Amino acid sequence: MMKTDKTGIYIHIPFCLKKCNYCDFCSFAGLDNVVRQRYVDALINEIFSYKREKKISVDTVFFGGGTPSLLEKNQFKSIMSAIRDTFEVDPDAEITLEANPKTLNEDNLSSFINSGVNRLSIGMQTIHENERLILGRIHNYSDFSESLRLARRLGIKNINVDIMYGIPEQTLSSFVETVKTVVSLGVEHISAYSLIIEEGTPFYEDKNLILPSEDEEISMYDFLTSFLRQNGYSRYEISNYAKDGYTSRHNLKYWKLQDYIGVGLSASSFFEGVRYTNTANMNDYVADLREHRRDIEQIDLAELAREYIMLGLRLKEGISLSEYKRLFGKDFYLKNKDLINGYIKNGFMCKNNDRIYFTDKGFYISLAVLSELI
In the prediction, which pLDDT does 201 show?
A: 80
Verify that 210 and 331 share a domain, yes or no. no
Enumerate the β-bridge partners of residue 255.
none
231 found inside a domain: yes
Nearest to 79 by CA among 125, 123, 107, 48: 48
Q: Which of 159, 183, 194 is nearest to 232 (CA)?
A: 183
**Whether residue 250 is found in the same domain as residue 327:** no
pLDDT digits (tens, 9 = 90+) for 221-277: 999 999 999 999 999 999 999 999 999 999 999 999 999 999 999 999 999 888 999
Q: Tell me whether residue 15 is in a domain.
A: yes
Domain count, the chain: 2
Kindly state whether residues 229 and 373 are assigned to the same domain: no
User: What is the mean pLDDT of the segment spanning 283-291?
Assistant: 75
Contact 147, 185 (CB under 8 A): no
In a shared domain, residues 17 and 149:
yes
CA distance 372 to 349: 14
Residue 275 counted as domain residue: no
CA dihedral 222, 226, 229, 235 (to 10 degrees): 20
Q: Are 91 and 118 in contact (CB under 8 A)?
A: no
The 10s digit of each residue's pLDDT in 166-216 is 999 999 999 999 999 999 999 999 999 998 888 888 777 887 788 999 999
Task: Tell me, yes or no, whether 350 and 238 share the same domain.
Answer: no
Residue 325 lies in a domain: yes
Last residue of a domain, one of 254, 273, 288: 254
| Neighbour count for residue 119 (Cβ, 10 Å) | 24
pLDDT > 60? residue 55: yes
pLDDT of residue 292: 59
**Residue 100 shares a structural domain with residue 219:** yes
- Domain containing residue 184: CATH number: 3.20.20.70
> 295 lies in a domain?
no
Q: Which of 221, 238, 254 is the last residue of a domain?
A: 254
| Mean pLDDT of the region 78-87 | 98
Which of 61, 20, 25 shows the shortest CA–CA distance to 262? Answer: 61
pLDDT at 335: 92
Q: Which of 229, 254, 279 is the last residue of a domain?
A: 254
233 & 358 share domain: no
Which residue type does 154 have? Answer: L
Mean pLDDT on 74-86: 98
Angle, nearest 10°, between helix axes 172-184 and 214-230?
20
What pLDDT does residue 32 have?
A: 82
Residue 67 inside a domain? The answer is yes
The pLDDT assigned to 196 comes to 84
pLDDT tens string 91-101: 999 999 999 99
- What residue numbers bound the domain in which 21 lies? 7-254
Same domain, 21 and 158: yes
Q: What tens digit of pLDDT does each residue of 320-360 get?
A: 999 999 999 999 999 999 999 999 999 999 999 899 999 99
Quick one: pLDDT band at residue 291, thresholds 50, 70, 90? low
366 shares a domain with 246: no
Q: Is residue 313 included in any domain, yes or no?
A: no
Please give the single-letter amino acid code of residue 123. Answer: G
- On whether both 194 and 337 belong to a single domain, the answer is no
- Are the C-beta atoms of residues 313 and 350 closer than 8 Å to each other? no
For residues 227 and 344, state if they share a domain. Answer: no
Element (H, E) at 367: helix 366-373
- Identify whether residues 214 and 89 lie together within a single domain: yes
88 pLDDT more than 90 = yes
Q: What is the DSSP string of 97-156?
A: EEE-GGG--HHHHHHHHHTT--EEEEEEE-S-HHHHHHHT-S--HHHHHHHHHHHHHTT-
Evaluate whether residue 310 is within a structural domain: no
Give the model confidence (pLDDT) of 109-146 as tens digits: 999 999 999 999 999 999 999 999 888 888 889 999 99
